[in-house]
A and B are shown apart, each in its own frame.
Chain A
C-alpha cells in the first residue's frame, strides 16, 4: 500500500524534498511518528495534516493512493 506525502513551507526545508511515496503506513499518527524519527526537527514544528486535500483533526486511516500533506501554519494574504 503506497501513499504520497507532500510537504510545504518551512517543513520542506527540514525534509529537503517536496513530495515522496511511502508504503506500509496505516494511519496518520503512524505516519507522523515515522516522519519524526526520520526528521527529528519535525518534533519542534507545529503543523496540520490534510488527507486528500481535507484537513483532519484526529487519527485517520490511510488507504492505497491517499495523499497526505503536512501543512505549517498558514500565512497567506
Chain B
C-alpha cells in the first residue's frame, strides 16, 4: 500500500498530459486491476444572463493540505485501495479545463469507484477552497457548491 504525501495544489488547469503521465506511472504496479478517475471540469454556467468564462480558485492552503491528508487517510482505512492521488487547481482555470483530478486504483473495480465517490464528496464539503466564477466582462460571483 502506498501512502506517499504530496502537494495537492497545482497552479492553473490540470493538463491532459499530466493526467496521462499519472496513468502511465501505474504500469509498474501490477497488482492493480482497476483505476477510477474523476475529473472536474469548469462549466460555462449562465448566471443572470452572463456566461462564466473561468473560475479563479483560492484556498486556505495549510488547512486544505491537512484536510486532504485526513480525507486520504480515511479513504485508505475504509477501502481496499492500492493507490490514490488528488490534485486541485489554484488560480485561474478556464471553462472546459480540468480543476480537480481524483485517481484511485484497486485490485478490483468496486473499491476504486466507491473510494473515488467518497473522496470527491468529502473534498467538496470539507476542504477550504473557494471558486470565484469570472464572466466575460471580468465581473464575478462567488461560486456556490450544490
Interface residues of A, Cβ cutoff 8 Å to B: 6, 8-10, 50, 53, 69, 71-77
Contacts and interface: CB of A to CB of B under 8 A. Distances in A.
Nearest to B124: A77
Given A9-B58, A9-B142, A10-B142, A76 B127 contact: yes
Interface of B: 40, 57-60, 62-63, 66, 88, 99-100, 120, 123-132, 142-145
Contacts, number: 64
A33 to B, nearest CB: 23
Nearest to A13: B142
For the complex of A and B, the 3 pairs showing the least CB-CB separation, nearest first, are A76-B129, A9-B130, A75-B143
A9 B140 CA distance: 12
B63 A53 contact: yes
A72 B130 CA distance: 8
